């Protein structure tokens, strides 16, 4: 099967629970045999993004997901002066995005999810204190922290063009995906 077809959504899938179980299964197959986080997160963001666009029950056109990707601890990146308080842009699908986020409470949804280590669902980003508008078309957002050996090492961030684009079923489905990714990749600087 061509890899692109992993983001097709079979017509018999109707509920969000079935959808997320399907995406998790496809992701498991897609990243099998590879443990570097760059390739795995690149394919994960593409799979989630394109599967959501192909799933009518989620929302299309004016209700579509418009960004899906990762920000990660600067210590994971090949740079000379990593700064533990900085999250750097990782693989994503969507329009160009902020290159970094300061990992301090109050510096936006990604920063808050990372610092609190809790999933944050925002129904209306324009009403969120400290929101960083990488894309003025975004109206709602969900951010999940990625936890490895008790360290927060990054976040998975999804944006939606609609108000209240994400709900509890998305939280549960995406939570299983970040747990898989944390386990399926090597995180060199956090393995001691």
Binding a copy of itself (rule: CB under 8 A), the pick from 25, 28, 56, 79 is: 79
Hey, is 95 helix, strand or coil? coil
Phi and psi at residue 146, in whole multiples of 5°? -105, 120
Give the pair of three-digit tokens for residue 71: 């920000």
CB of 17 to a copy of itself, least distance (A): 22
- Mapping DSSP to helix (H, G, I), strand (E, B) and coil, where does residue 127 land? helix
Q: Cβ-count burial of 39 within 10 angstroms (0-12 exposed, 13-18 middle, 19+ buried)? A: middle
Task: Please list the helix, strand and coil fractions of the chain in percent, rounded to the nearest 5, in that order.
Answer: 40, 25, 40
The nearer residue to a copy of itself, 166 or 187, going by C-beta atoms, is: 187
Give the C-alpha separation, 3 to 26, whole Å. Answer: 10
Among 80, 127, 150, 183, binds a copy of itself (CB under 8 A): 80
Does 137 bind a copy of itself (CB under 8 A)? Our answer is yes
Number of residues that bind a copy of itself (CB under 8 A): 46
Least distance in angstroms from the C-beta of 140 to a copy of itself = 16
CB 118 → a copy of itself: shortest distance, Å? 25
Q: Which of 21, 24, 60, 89 binds a copy of itself (CB under 8 A)?
A: 89
Alpha-carbon gap, residue 29 to 31, rounded angstroms: 6
Per-residue x/- marks for a copy of itself, 97-136, CB under 8 A? xxxx--------------------------------xxxx
Sign of CA dihedral 8, 186, 68, 125: positive
Residue 35 interacts with a copy of itself (CB under 8 A): yes or no: yes
In 33-178, at which residue ranges do the beta strands (DSSP E only) sit? 65-73, 86-94, 100-102, 120-122, 140-148, 151-160
Residue 139 interacts with a copy of itself (CB under 8 A): yes or no: no
* 188 lies in the site for a copy of itself, by CB under 8 A: yes
Q: Does residue 154 bind a copy of itself (CB under 8 A)?
A: no
Is 169 an interacting residue with respect to a copy of itself (CB under 8 A)? no
Binding site for a copy of itself (CB under 8 A): 2-7, 30-31, 33-39, 42-43, 46-47, 50, 69, 76-80, 88-100, 133-137, 186, 188
């Amino acid at each position: 099967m061509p890899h692109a077809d992993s983001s097709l959504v079979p017509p018999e899938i109707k509920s969000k629970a079935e959808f997320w179980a399907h995406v998790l299964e496809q992701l498991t197959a897609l990243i099998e045999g590879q443990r570097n986080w760059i390739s795995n997160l690149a394919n994960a963001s593409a799979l989630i993004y394109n599967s959501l666009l192909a799933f009518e029950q989620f929302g299309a056109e004016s209700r579509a997901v418009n960004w899906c990707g990762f920000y990660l601890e600067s210590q994971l990146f090949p740079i000379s002066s990593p700064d533990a308080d900085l999250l750097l842009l990782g693989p994503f699908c969507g329009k160009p995005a902020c290159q970094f986020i300061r990992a301090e409470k109050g510096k936006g949804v990604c920063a808050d999810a990372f610092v609190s280590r809790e999933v944050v669902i925002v129904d209306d980003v324009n009403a969120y204190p400290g929101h960083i508008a990488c894309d003025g078309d975004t109206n709602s957002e969900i951010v999940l922290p990625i936890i490895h050996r008790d360290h927060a090492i990054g976040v998975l961030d999804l944006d939606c063009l609609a108000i209240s684009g994400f709900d509890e079923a998305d939280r549960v489905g995406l939570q299983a995906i970040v747990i898989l990714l944390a386990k399926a990749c090597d995180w060199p600087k956090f393995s001691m």
